[in-house]
Amino acid sequence: MHSGLNFVTPVQCHTGDHVAVLEKRKDVYEKAKAKHPERWARGTRNWAPNEKVALNPMCQQAQRGSLA
């Protein structure tokens, strides 16, 4: 699990299972916040699924730039 993937596994991302996992996670966090709002100083984490993810995106961009 990695923060760049919203704490789901790469396999879940590749199979599309991450969408259901993140929806469930969002529900759990919202219920917890509603039950004990005093424990939350801010809103909950953004659990929206990422549309694109890349390994080392800055490195890949630099390589593309040097090839151009």
Residue pLDDT, tens place only, 3-39: 778 889 888 888 889 999 999 999 999 999 999 999 9
Q: What's the number of domains the chain is made of?
A: 1
- How many residues make up the chain in this entry? 68
pLDDT at 60 over 60: no
| Residue 56 structural domain | 3-67
Q: What pTM was computed for the model?
A: 0.71
Structure confidence at residue 44 (pLDDT): 86
3-state secondary structure labels for all residues of 5-31: HCCCCHHHHHHCCHHHHHHHHHHHHHH
Structure confidence at residue 13 (pLDDT): 86
Structure confidence at residue 19 (pLDDT): 93
Q: Are the C-beta atoms of residues 13 and 5 closer than 8 Å to each other?
A: yes
